[in-house]
Structure 1
Amino acid sequence: MGGEKNKTRDMVEEEEEPLSPCSRLFNSPDFNCAIIVTMGCKVKGNPPAIIEGLKHTLANHPRFSSILDMKNGKKGKPRWVRTKVRVEEHVIVPDIEPNTENPDQYLEDYISKLTTVPLDLSKPLWEIHVLCLKTSNAESIGILKIHHSLGDGMSLMSLFLACTRKTSDPEALPTVAVQKKQFGPSCYTGFFNKIWWLFVGLWFILRLVFNTFIDVLMFALTICFLRDTETPLLAKPGSELKPKKFVYRIISFDDVKLVKNAMNMTVNDVLLGVTQAGLSRYLSRRYDQEATPKSKDLMRRIRLRSAIMINLRPNTGIEALADMMAKKSKCKWGNLFGYILLPFSLGLETDPLEYLRRAKVTVDRKKQSLEAVFSMAFFKLILKVMGLKASVVLVRKVIHSTTLSFSNVVGPKEEITFHGHPLSYIAPSVFGHPHALTLHFQSYENKVIISVTADPTVIPDPHKMCDDLVESLKLIKSSVLERGLYEMEV
């Protein structure tokens, strides 16, 4: 009884907010997703410093200082209710043997176990684990676990960066590259006269309408019956409930930019091309195939797609997020995204650059479509008209019919410090959705971190997949240099 009184006293009832449709989806029993961010630190972990720092940053954020009330909102709908945050309860420091025989394996096993333990609904849905464990790439490890209902991946990554500072300037926020708009009629302003600009604008609108129609049709067919080819990567029923394996590799961002500049592409084009090459190598080994004309044709007939979440909320700069936490702002927050279905082009190519060309064609076409907007509007309509259960069934149907999740997030240009801990790498990922494979690329300083999250009952060798991705980038870079497509800067 006393506990109930304390709980009521800690709540600030006038500061409540209903869950967004996407947050309700992520809180359904059949779709319980969480985000994991692994941070490699260059110094030994200092839990008291992290606790003190979080009190002045993350604990002040409205969503990170609210508990989930599933029944007492208006009309019985779930809501967020502000509460007093006891940061010490959210920072977990496990006891680890000082002379752990294989620290890298220990870390993998520890994160895997985290995927089986649900977050405590009696407090805000986040926690950070501080592991005083020296691994191959870090002196200690921080693991941030956040329920996906608190926000979409892009917003949460921006919020995380707002809690950090440049190592070179402890008062300065990180510098993150802003992606420029790469398509649309506005790109032609100043280059053509008004008549030509009007023609280009009309052509763009026609392509936008046509591409959107085709994509929405494919989305509808996927919900009805269209499923990816049965490959060794496709999830089995119940895969979302299995413990996941988290592995990563670090590659050179300079190598990625070298290929990008040589091929006149974006970083995203290059990473998608590398992924297509890496998955082709991996599947050819699982199928025990060699590069023959017959095997090429077989691989190209594989339908393999990714269901990608596209953030539709205007990106909030990390400066605004840092200010919001400092002033305890009540600004709007949450999930606002739509899905797109991104096809992957597989095959055992003799020319490694062909993977990049195919990736660019795919990405350029998807840029000229409103598929994400339509999918968001459709699922919101289903949720409103038919309820949460019907919406969950449809979303799960789309994910079950595709093979993997794929994302690429731009990170800081320089080394950053998380409450006194300079970071050597950042490796985010997600679990709890019905995919057996999730690939995430995260840039940081002059590195790109490749994170592979896999269901080991489907993909027993995720380390080999990482090796295939790394080797694919090496082959692509070598091909660029051999052909003289890139001239080294003097």
Structure 2
Amino acid sequence: MAMLRKRALSIDTTRTWTRESKANLEVRADGEEEEPVSPAGRLFREPRFNCYIVCVMGLGAPVDLPAARVGLAATLARHPRFCSVQVCNELGKDAKPKWVRTTVNLDNHIIVPELDPAATSADPDKSLEDYVASLSTRPMDHSRPLWELHILDFPTSESAAAAALRMHHSLGDGVSLLSLFIACTRSATDPDTLPSLPAAGRRAGPLYALPRPRGRGALAALALWVLSLLVLAWHTMVDVARFFATAVSLVGDERTVLKGAEGAEFRPRRFVNHTLSLDDIKYVKNAMGCTVNDVLLGITSAALSRYYFRRTGESDRKNNITVRSALIVNLRPTPGLHALASMMESGKDNAARWGNQFGYMLIPFHLTEHDDPIEYVREATKVARRKKSSLESIFTYWSADMMVKLFGIKAAAALCYGMFTHTTLSFSNMVGPTEQVVFFGHPIVYIAPGSFGHPHALTVHYQSYMNIVKLVLSVDEEQFPDPHELLHDFTESLRVIRDATSRN
């Protein structure tokens, strides 16, 4: 493998594009207006939030490179964001970049690395893991659209080949990008049909569970409705106050073996993953009368507890230590696959809403040892239900947007950076197709997305697909020299919780 740089290089966030530098771009004169980069997209241009998403796909067949090129040219390369570059025509701290169309040369975006055949044959899983880890240290040319598809055409223990799609986070939020990727695939049972995503569940929380005041008993129902609104307002006020206290350094997590040191956003990352059984998770969900997300939160709490006490060697395992996670909450409806497919076919914006639109919730994880493993899920369910009766994520998104408009992107970045550095980890959970899909003729075995470039040393991500859930950990290797042991703590926690549920 070629020598790689030891630190991820950012896209240029300060450069003003002169007449000479613009001439180096093949800007398309198709009459479309330049679109401003959204506030969240501008945030991801900041050096301390130079964030990327890396999505590894396990393929069920060797890679047909010509077919992949034709497929990309007809889909992803035609999407407005994936055929544009960010150009800033102004000087100064308030300069606002815009998306400008350019010609996509697929030779710059489809990368087939020359790897050592002996290494890929001796330990293909480690070769794949090492290469994906190297993507957190390799530069991305900001004069081209900010995405790449890396082809890793050798078999591993789970797949016949793999591909890694690396994208800059300013292209869109995780939900939008996952939906766009799925819109590039087709159903394995019908190659002419787009796959289907699970229907969005009913909004949860006390406010939405109450009946509307009508007919007999309307007065009592109205009273409950008003009470629910008051509870919602109170919980939102408390959560927002805690969020801003964290962001401005009034409250912060203590330094533990789980919390990275300052500058974690600039260090290389390693991505490790494991396949979990969705049936086992649903078994616990049904037995506990909770949600899949509640079970995943409980598994995470149990796993972090196991790892913490093993690393520290503390004997008092009943001592309740709290660390907090920044939970990413999507605030837009999931883009329709047909609308996204139409957007790529036409190469123009349409009714599909696009960009970065998400807020944050601060979720506590309690590090302790329970006699009954199911208690981790019970506590997680209580926390999740409490957070569902709050508008914290909406207010955090709104406040960041207002901060950009009133004080500029630097102030918003400082606020967000404070929130990250005074919490311990990031947590994300996304739902994928319930059926197998094919990617330009290649059956997909698993989908394993991860991210890097933000100030947390640990990111926990769950991605469902068919009847499995991929657990992906993105770790700073300086803070987590034993990422596979931490991964084992997650798988063991699910097993213990599943066994305890079956005994009850």
Measured against the shorter chain, the TM-score band is over 0.9
Are positions 1:19 and 2:40 aligned together? Answer: no
Are positions 1:86 and 2:110 aligned together? Answer: no
Tell me, in whole angstroms, the C-alpha distance in 2 between the residues paired with 1:211 and 1:113: 43
Q: Which residue of structure 1 lines up, in the alignment, with residue 419 of structure 2?
A: 398
Q: Which residue of structure 2 lines up, in the alignment, with residue 261 of structure 1?
A: 286
Q: Is 41-50 or 171-180 further displaced after alignment?
A: 171-180
How does 1:25-424 map onto structure 2 within 5 Å?
25-71=43-89, 76-99=95-118, 100=120, 101-180=122-201, 181-189=203-211, 193-224=217-248, 225-290=250-315, 294-297=316-319, 300=320, 302-331=321-350, 332-424=353-445
TM-superposition CA deviations, 1:337-387 (whole Å, max 9, x none):
222111112211110000000000000111111111111222222222222
Runs of 4+ in 1 over 4 A off after TM superposition: 1-6, 72-76, 190-193
Shift of 1:235: 1.1
Tell me, in whole angstroms, the C-alpha distance in 2 between the residues paired with 1:236 and 1:3: 38
Tell me, in whole angstroms, the C-alpha distance in 1 between the residues paired with 2:208 and 2:166: 40
Q: How many residues align structurally? A: 477
Are positions 1:461 and 2:482 aligned together? Answer: yes
Tell me, in whole angstroms, the C-alpha distance in 1 between the residues paired with 2:370 and 2:195: 40
Tell me, in whole angstroms, the C-alpha distance in 2 between the residues paired with 1:60 and 1:197: 52
> Does the CA-based 8 Å contact 1:15-1:82 persist in structure 2?
no
CA RMSD of aligned residues (A): 2.0
Shift of 1:73: 9.9
Give the secondary-structure state (helix, strand or coil) at the position aligned to 2:428: strand
> Does the CA-based 8 Å contact 1:18-1:73 persist in structure 2?
no
> Does the CA-based 8 Å contact 1:185-1:200 persist in structure 2?
no
TM-superposition CA deviations, 1:381-407 (whole Å, max 9, x none):
222222222211111110000100101
Is the alpha carbon distance of 1:4 and 1:203 closer, same or farther for their aligned partners in structure 2, counting shifts above 3 Å?
closer
Tell me, in whole angstroms, the C-alpha distance in 2 between the residues paired with 1:393 and 1:190: 42
Q: Which runs of 5+ in 1 are unaligned?
A: 484-490
Shift of 1:179: 3.1
Give the secondary-structure state (helix, strand or coil) at the position aligned to 1:438: strand
Q: Match of 2:48, as an amino acid?
A: D
Q: Match of 1:51, as an amino acid?
A: R
Tell me, in whole angstroms, the C-alpha distance in 2 between the residues paired with 1:137 and 1:93: 20
Q: Is 366-375 or 18-27 further displaced after alignment?
A: 366-375
> Does the CA-based 8 Å contact 2:207-2:389 persist in structure 1?
no
2:453 to 422, 432, 435: 432
TM-superposition CA deviations, 1:226-263 (whole Å, max 9, x none):
11121101011111111101000001110001110010
Is the alpha carbon distance of 1:141 and 1:198 closer, same or farther for their aligned partners in structure 2, counting shifts above 3 Å?
same
Shift of 1:72: 5.2
Shift of 1:36: 0.4
Q: Match of 1:415, as an amino acid?
A: Q
Shift of 1:269: 0.3
Q: Is 98-107 or 465-474 further displaced after alignment?
A: 98-107
> Does the CA-based 8 Å contact 1:47-1:93 persist in structure 2?
no
Tell me, in whole angstroms, the C-alpha distance in 2 between the residues paired with 1:18 and 1:9: 16
Tell me, in whole angstroms, the C-alpha distance in 2 between the residues paired with 1:8 and 1:132: 31
Shift of 1:30: 2.2
Q: Which residue of structure 2 lines up, in the alignment, with residue 486 of structure 1?
A: none
Give the secondary-structure state (helix, strand or coil) at the position aligned to 1:63: coil
Q: Which residue of structure 1 lines up, in the alignment, with residue 15 of structure 2?
A: none
Q: What is the TM-score when the length of structure 2 is the normalising length?
A: 0.91
Q: What is the TM-score when the length of structure 1 is the normalising length?
A: 0.93
Q: Which residue of structure 1 lines up, in the alignment, with residue 3 of structure 2?
A: none
Is the alpha carbon distance of 1:445 and 1:386 closer, same or farther for their aligned partners in structure 2, counting shifts above 3 Å?
same
Is the alpha carbon distance of 1:424 and 1:222 closer, same or farther for their aligned partners in structure 2, counting shifts above 3 Å?
same
Give the secondary-structure state (helix, strand or coil) at the position aligned to 1:295: coil
Tell me, in whole angstroms, the C-alpha distance in 2 between the residues paired with 1:267 and 1:113: 33
Tell me, in whole angstroms, the C-alpha distance in 1 between the residues paired with 2:183 and 2:46: 29
Shift of 1:3: 8.8
Is the alpha carbon distance of 1:87 and 1:194 closer, same or farther for their aligned partners in structure 2, counting shifts above 3 Å?
farther
Tell me, in whole angstroms, the C-alpha distance in 2 between the residues paired with 1:10 and 1:116: 31
> Does the CA-based 8 Å contact 1:12-1:83 persist in structure 2?
no
TM-superposition CA deviations, 1:266-315 (whole Å, max 9, x none):
0000000011011111111011245xxx4212xx1x23011122221222
Tell me, in whole angstroms, the C-alpha distance in 1 between the residues paired with 2:179 and 2:27: 32
Is the alpha carbon distance of 1:431 and 1:6 closer, same or farther for their aligned partners in structure 2, counting shifts above 3 Å?
closer
Is the alpha carbon distance of 1:314 and 1:29 closer, same or farther for their aligned partners in structure 2, counting shifts above 3 Å?
same
Q: Is 373-382 or 164-173 further displaced after alignment?
A: 373-382
Q: Match of 2:243, as an amino acid?
A: F
Tell me, in whole angstroms, the C-alpha distance in 2 between the residues paired with 1:22 and 1:420: 34
Shift of 1:13: 6.4
Shift of 1:83: 1.5
Identity across aligned pairs (percent)? 44
> Does the CA-based 8 Å contact 2:59-2:162 persist in structure 1?
yes
Shift of 1:190: 7.9
Tell me, in whole angstroms, the C-alpha distance in 2 between the residues paired with 1:186 and 1:337: 21
Q: Match of 2:204, as an amino acid?
A: Q
Is the alpha carbon distance of 1:127 and 1:195 closer, same or farther for their aligned partners in structure 2, counting shifts above 3 Å?
same
> Does the CA-based 8 Å contact 1:47-1:91 persist in structure 2?
no
> Does the CA-based 8 Å contact 1:439-1:450 persist in structure 2?
yes
TM-superposition CA deviations, 1:447-476 (whole Å, max 9, x none):
010001100100111111111111111111
Q: Which runs of 5+ in 2 are unaligned?
A: 1-18
